[in-house]
Structure 1
Amino acid sequence: MLSVIRDSSNVPAGDRGLAYGDGLFETIRMRGRQAVLRGLHLDRLVTDAARLEIPVERSDLDRTITQAGLDFEADFEGIDWVLKLILTRGSGGRGYRLPESCQPNLIVSVSTMPPVPDISGVVADFSRFPLTVNPQLAGIKTLNRLEQVMASREFTGREFELVMRDVAGNMVEGTRTNLFCRHGEKWLTPPAGSLAVAGVMRKYLIDCLREAGHEVVEEFIPPSIVSAPDFRGLYLTNSVVGIVPVRKMGGVDLPVGGGLETISDPLKTLE
């Protein structure tokens, strides 16, 4: 049975999410009682919980989102807000070993929306901290985000985002965003198997681009692509801030206007 915790101060000290990062989370943009990309968030949470062998019912998660909308809509007085769901395996087990029976915890918290990025484009830079991805955990938004925490120490206040690279030097993702490049007539995004987090916005945009007749290729992206003559734009995406064009990357001015933000509107997915 799922235990819903609406006050993080009530999380048991023995919770495996706290002790070992044994769990995963979703960060959902809300407008009133409705959630952006609701179905995709639910799909990912259920699918990735199954990969971690944490039992959870989609209907329970869906009901929690609905209840959160009812509980917190008035607190934000008509402005968008953010709902965070943290699903852990619960307590128990001997050390790292799993408990014989699992009673997951679902921790619910809310916050205000971060500032909306400048539509003319943002400044980004490269992180010096490399990103390594265990192929068995690729794409899962687990509670273990220590590499992103360490990379975030490098923010100076000038950058909207820091882009992390793999050990081969390829651009993989931002500390909190996925990447899309427009290269000639193609859209490029790193392969899902190379990602620490395969975002729901990433999936939504791939589907929208392909439905609109665009070619989308999942391949490794070297940093040198931003200087290629047929490079047409770099975008950062996540389900809270949406689609963010980059106008300067590592001190290099980039073209803005590849058109990704005109192809899709995630706010149309409100449920």
Structure 2
Amino acid sequence: MSHHVPVRTAWARLDAYWRLMRFHRPIGIWLLLWPALWALWIAGEGHPSPKVVSVIIAGTLVMRAAGCVINDYADRGFDPHVERTRQRPIAAGEVAPREALGLFVVLCLAGLALVLLLNPLTIALSVPGAFLAASYPFTKRYTHWPQAYLGLAFGWAVPMSFAAQTGGLPWIAWPIYLATVLWALVYDTQYAMVDRDDDLKIGVKSTAILFGAWDRLILALLQVLVLLILYGVGRGAGLGWPFDLGLAGAAGLAAYQQWLLRHREKANCFKAFLNNHWFGATVFAGIALDYLLR
């Protein structure tokens, strides 16, 4: 497969970069952002520092873009063979692999500039965070658990948010981190169920392949576990009925996702994945409302 890149206008190049950073598909930004916002609101008891919130949101945008770029760079040999990824800018020959690496470096430097606005603990935590984000795309070659590794990377926004807001890492940060990791395992497995046939052909590993016929049951158990951990977080943080109401809404959305997955149709598996945006938003709404009504 040649990566010869045709000469194009500056506008076409910017458009290709925009799609490479996946800004035309904001779902990943939301999935990364909701747990960070859960953490910030609990850490700030409903009144997190506006500066910290701004930096975390900007950092989320930049690092998610960086993650997408390095992911497509890592997958440039696989993407042309997968129905869903054939049109990605590197796979389609619109962006050269070295251009993508250059863009990745620029985005990482932007992320570094942002984190330097925060306290020393948050700066220190950004190092393992950056490592998790950059190494994730390579895991699908070696383990059936890349979805769990993605959770470790995406969830890292939680301890960073607590550190940025409080200057420390209170115990409650860790159950929120665990819930986020397990939730990512749920939604990224739903995502992987879309690609299962292609992945089996090209030898990419995933939890969708590992779970096989047990996929829906395992996902249901994980969803219940996420909700139970979040319920415990609510008790630990002294949250009351508005939070429980948000969790009940999230439980309803989890049930709806299971209904979508019932025949394992690709389009509905993808719909279930996208629905997780509302799951995260509903949990956040419960947290925000709880502090608002105090």
Q: Give TM-score scaled by structure 2 length.
A: 0.26
Greater strand proportion? 1
Greater helix proportion? 2
